[in-house]
Structure 1
């Protein structure tokens, strides 16, 4: 089994996926942040690769990406930082980013280097389904990486089924069509999540966008296998004095 399969086999409720930006708050913070997340109870790390034009990211995550780019973060630097990280970190790690820098790096080289480093899966929101099926999916599979598609409340049932069939690891349920970090009314989201639950999908479902505290995390977990927190954690790092304390305080407030 892959690490993601092992995680959901062992724990299929209240799964906490935390997003962090590689190279933030400092260029060499990546491993420090990842270790702190594992130590304080994150089940899964979504490691963001900063990009100058991030379509789905709200202002806080955009700002963290801009800072990371100014710090000198690139995909090549990230893979250098990830060398040997599996000696310290055993929870699943997925890379989240956009196609442009990945294609510039070289798609197959990217997959090979991610797999060699010990990365478990990829989230590339702007990789179209057709191109995944015809060109990129086989390469991702060749290197043993999971690939996670996103669905939204506007995604038709038929398309949800198709994206679920193409995904492995988990399915990312975006709570609304807005960018990350917006406040959400989770009572309206509940109808959408119930619909996904009733579809008896192949993959576990994690909910992202707008989850920021214990209340919204529990609301997401009511109808899904867990939740994804990004903006609120980046803010905690931004406002904290050090990574360890900020991470400990933040995650203890969620769980």
Structure 2
């Protein structure tokens, strides 16, 4: 069974915790150390960001990390190689998150082959058109048993959400707002109403809520209406400041308690 599916199947009694970091930042060779540290510290799933020169969905924190990573010389090949070096030690699901241009340039077949070879369980491609996913990408990903995770936002129609739910597997990435990534101090009534509305749809796939989670209020608001949460910008900031995944998690846990 795919590790993503197993994670949700085996943990229906607790909220899951996923973190995102950008491969290649702050240093080019940090991927193995960060992944093994996050696993040891009890993180349930990790998203490894593939930096891109024009990241439309990313806020200033992740854009800056991507710029550093590209200057450091990180490439998709190097990311795969670093993950491959520790694949026998990694038990948690790994998800690659990157833009369509990078994956297309690498080649869909080659990309999903490398995912399987290195133990990557899924990918998120924010700018992948859904029709292209259905007709081109999904058949290849299914052949390699790799999950392609789709995103929804407060502006996604109920009809579209049902369509995504019907044709995807693993989990649905529920973006807290229609804007770019970035830490927020609170989720207002409109966002909580959105969380509640999607929860009431009783979708087949579990949902993880991301974008903006950085303290106790945002964490608990998201956890109340989903299987778990994804934290990106806050952890990227702390990792950049500390240059040490253990210290970054310590500081993140302090922030999430406030």
For normalisation by structure 2, the TM-score amounts to: 0.94
Q: Is the 8 A contact 1:82 1:117 kept in 2?
A: yes
Whether 1:32 aligns to 2:33 is yes
Aligned length: 255
* Distance in 2 of aligned mates of 1:89 and 1:155: 34
Q: Is the 8 A contact 1:175 1:189 kept in 2?
A: yes
- For residue 241 of structure 1, report the CA deviation from its aligned partner: 5.2
Q: Which residue is equivalent to 2:233?
A: 231
Higher mean alpha-carbon deviation, 78-87 vs 199-208, is at 78-87
Secondary structure, counterpart of 1:54 in structure 2: coil
* Distance in 2 of aligned mates of 1:254 and 1:85: 29
Secondary structure, counterpart of 2:58 in structure 1: coil
Cα displacement string for residues 154-191 of structure 1 (whole angstroms, at most 9, x for unaligned residues): 11111000011122110001111110005252432111
* Distance in 1 of aligned mates of 2:89 and 2:9: 22
Q: Is the 8 A contact 1:40 1:248 kept in 2?
A: no
Q: Which residue is equivalent to 1:136?
A: 137
* Distance in 2 of aligned mates of 1:253 and 1:41: 17
* Distance in 1 of aligned mates of 2:226 and 2:109: 33
Whether 1:78 aligns to 2:60 is no
Q: Is the 8 A contact 2:61 2:236 kept in 1?
A: yes
Q: Which residue is equivalent to 1:67?
A: 68
In the TM superposition, what are the counterparts of 1:2-151 in structure 2 within 5 Å? 2-12=2-12, 13-151=14-152
Secondary structure, counterpart of 1:227 in structure 2: strand
Runs of 4+ in 1 over 4 A off after TM superposition: none
Secondary structure, counterpart of 2:213 in structure 1: coil
Q: Which residue is equivalent to 1:205?
A: 207
Let me know the Cα RMSD of the aligned residues: 1.5
- For residue 242 of structure 1, report the CA deviation from its aligned partner: 2.6
- For residue 89 of structure 1, report the CA deviation from its aligned partner: 1.5
* Distance in 1 of aligned mates of 2:215 and 2:93: 22
* Ranges in structure 2 where 5+ consecutive residues have no aligned partner: none
For normalisation by structure 1, the TM-score amounts to: 0.95
Cα displacement string for residues 227-249 of structure 1 (whole angstroms, at most 9, x for unaligned residues): 11000001111221533222233
- For residue 90 of structure 1, report the CA deviation from its aligned partner: 0.6
Distance 1:250 1:182, change over 3 A: closer
